[in-house]
Amino acid sequence: MVNYGFRVLPLTRRPDSSLIQQCMSIATPLLSDNMHRVQGTIAGFVPYHRSAKLAGAAFTVRTRPGDNLMVHKAIDMAEPGDVIVVDACGELSQAILGEIMLRLAEKRGIAGFVIDGAIRDSAAFRERDYPCFARGTTHRGPYKEGPGEINVPVTIGRMPVMPGDLIVGDEDGIVAIPLDYAAEVVQAAQRQLAREQRTFEEIAEGSLDRSWVDEALKRKGCELP
């Protein structure tokens, strides 16, 4: 019997904790802009916690749709600060996470969850402000049979995620920054944040140069009044 599809692997590389901390105050559009806008989840993930922010190392899980045995194992294995990222195939017929699991994860210092699937007991995530993004809710509970895998490459919302990627989530969705590029991307996003803050000031003063809009239209051959 080959074990591919039913494996539990350790997470061996994580981003620097100072980098994770910096990402708590950088919006996801700034991070995805600095990866050429191709790395990030498509629309459809909802934050069930009030603050909507999340950052940490990706502890990845791939489940059989509707089954959460491997998510339970991940909660027992992940380290404080990790984000459990579950590729549950976008399945919405069974919830694979609930309040008992939330409380276990919270107790262990796990930073939060990203679930490409459904959760239940969703009021508890809001009340405890415990970070969790998911595609929806249903009271229909999970099966606990496996198979599934831990710390293998996964995809969530059409975004590839490698174990140990720097995960950042907010009201606009979730982005996974590949570990080897994380420092560079975060620095570039911070420079973009400073540029956008200057733009906001120029808008308030009425001094923002808008000539690029007509120039772009003319270059494309558009007739202007």
Ligand X SMILES: O=C([O-])CC(=O)C(=O)O
Site for Mg ion in 70-109 (CB under 5 A): 98-99
Identify which of 53, 205, 40, 70 has the alpha carbon closest to the alpha carbon of residue 148: 70
> To the nearest whole angstrom, how small is the minimum distance from the Cβ of residue 45 to Mg ion?
21
Identify which of 149, 174, 151 has the alpha carbon closest to the alpha carbon of residue 46: 174
Task: Report which secondary-structure segment, H or E, holds 23.
Answer: helix 17-23
Between 100 and 217, name the residue whose CB sits nearer to ligand X: 100
CA pair distance 62, 12, nearest whole angstrom:
18
Which residue's structure tokens are 């700034």? 30
Residue 193: name its binding partner from ligand X, Mg ion, none (Cβ under 5 to 8 Å by kind): none
- Strand (E) positions, the chain? 6-8, 46-47, 54-63, 82-95, 112-119, 132-137, 148-150, 154-156, 159-161, 166-170, 173-177
Between 131 and 142, name the residue whose CB sits nearer to ligand X: 142
Identify which of 134, 137, 136, 138 has the alpha carbon closest to the alpha carbon of residue 173: 134
> To the nearest whole angstrom, how small is the minimum distance from the Cβ of residue 98 to Mg ion?
3
CA angle 68/69/70 to nearest 5° reads: 90
Number of shown-chain residues binding ligand X (CB under 6 A): 9
> To the nearest whole angstrom, how small is the minimum distance from the Cβ of residue 138 to ligand X?
11
Residue 157: name its binding partner from Mg ion, ligand X, none (Cβ under 5 to 8 Å by kind): none
68 lies in the site for ligand X, by CB under 6 A: yes
> To the nearest whole angstrom, how small is the minimum distance from the Cβ of residue 102 to ligand X?
7
Closest residue by beta carbon to ligand X: 98
Per CB under 6 A, residues contacting ligand X are: 68, 98-101, 120-121, 141-142
Annotated binding-site residue numbers for Mg(2+)? 121
Interface positions with Mg ion (CB under 5 A): 98-99, 121
